[in-house]
Amino acid sequence: MEINFSHKQSAHCENGVVSNLMRYNGFEVSEPMVFGIGSGLLFCYIPLLKVNHAPAITYRAMPGYIFNRFAKRVGIKIKREKFKNPKTAQARLDENLKNNNPVGLQVGVYNLVYFPDEYRFHFNAHNLVVYGKEGANYLISDPVMEEVTTLTEKQLEKVRFAKGAFAPKGHIYYPTAFPETLELKEAIKKGIRQTCREMLAPVPVVGAKGIKTISKLIRKWPKKVGVKKANHYLGQIVRMQEEIGTGGGGFRYIYAAFLQEASQVLENEELMELSKEMTEIGDSWRDFAVEASRIYRNRSARTDAYNKVADELEDLSHREAVFFKKLKKAI
C-alpha cells in the first residue's frame, strides 16, 4: 500500500513533516510559516539534562510544541499517541496507512540506517513521515533527506522505541480536522508574540539572557573543568547549533524567511527589514561556530581563544535582545 504523498525536502524535520502533511491535506503552508506560527525559535540552556555527556542546549521549542502551537493557532485538530507495546504501535501505524492517512513519527537518530554515520548519535527528537508499506518495508519521507527511503519493520521499531532522553515511545501524530481556510494573520501575530516573550524572558537560562549565561560559562570552563572537557562542552554548543535539527544559525535563517512571508501577509514593511537583520544575526552565529570549532579541534591560532568566542556570544545576546524588542513593537 502506498499513499500518493508528495515528499519535499526541508531544513528542519518537524517543520518539514507539518508542511508536508498540510500539503497532503490540501493546504500550502511553507516550512518557515509553520516554524514562525508555531513559535519554534528559542534558546535554552539546560544544565541538568546531559546529551552526549555535556549540558543540553536547545535552539528550538521542545519536540511536538511547534505542531501543537501551529495547529491551535490556525484551527487544526491533531491526534497524538504513545505506546508501551511495539506491536500495538505497529498495528496503529498500519491501520492509518490502510486508511490512506500518512502519519508523523518521532524517532531516535542513532539507528536510522539511511543517515550518514557522522549524523547518527543519541538524539531522540527527530521527525519523519510514513506514507506507505510494501511487504515488510515502510515507505519513509524524511524531510531532511533529498529523496524518500524505506525502513524494515524491525528498523522502524528500533528507532520508534529508542531509549534515553526524549524517548519517543512509539510516538505517532497526524491532523484530524481542518477549517475551510487557514486564517494566518492572527496566527502569525500570536506566534511572534510568544517568541518575543521567550527570547526576552527575565530568566538566566532562556532567550537572550541564556546566550549571555553561556558566554560567561565559556570563559570559566577551561579552569573549572579542564581544557579537554571545556572543548567537549564547546563542541556540544556547536553540534547542537549546526548539526542537530538545523540548529541555531539555521533556525535564524528560517525565522528570517518567516518574517519575510509575514510581512506580505500582514502588509508590514518593518517585518521585511527585521527579516534582513535576522539573516545577519544568523551569519554571526555561523561565524561563532567556525571559531569555536577551531578551538575544540585544536586549530585556533588566536590567543585567549575562549574569551574571544565568549565575546562573540555576548554580542549576539545583546543583538538578539535588541532585535526581539523591535519585533515586539513591530506587531
Identity (one letter) of the amino acid at 305?
A
Nearest 5 degrees, angle CA 44-CA 15-CA 184?
100
Is the pTM higher than 0.75? yes
Show the cell assigned to 114: 539511511
pLDDT digits (tens, 9 = 90+) for 87-133: 999 999 999 999 999 999 999 999 999 998 877 777 788 999 999 99
Cβ burial of 298 (10 Å; 0-12, 13-18, 19+) is: exposed
Q: How many CB atoms lie within 10 A of CB 278?
A: 25
Q: What is the pLDDT at residue 246?
A: 47
What integer pLDDT is reported at residue 240 of this predicted model? 72
β-pairing verdict for 137-141 and 54-60: unpaired
The 3-state DSSP class for residue 316 equals helix
What domains, with CATH codes, occur in the chain?
13-37+77-177 (3.90.70.10), 184-330 (no CATH)
**Residues 126-182: pLDDT tens digits?**
999 999 999 999 999 999 899 999 999 999 999 999 998 789 999 999 999 999 999
CA neighbours closer than 13 Å in the CB half-sphere of residue 279: 11
Please report which confidence band the pLDDT of residue 49 belongs to, taking 50, 70 and 90 as the band edges: confident
Q: What is the pLDDT of residue 133?
A: 97
Task: Give the other-Cβ count within 10 Å of 330's Cβ.
Answer: 18
Distance CA 231, CA 211 (A): 18
Q: Which residues are bridge partners to 55 per DSSP?
A: 50
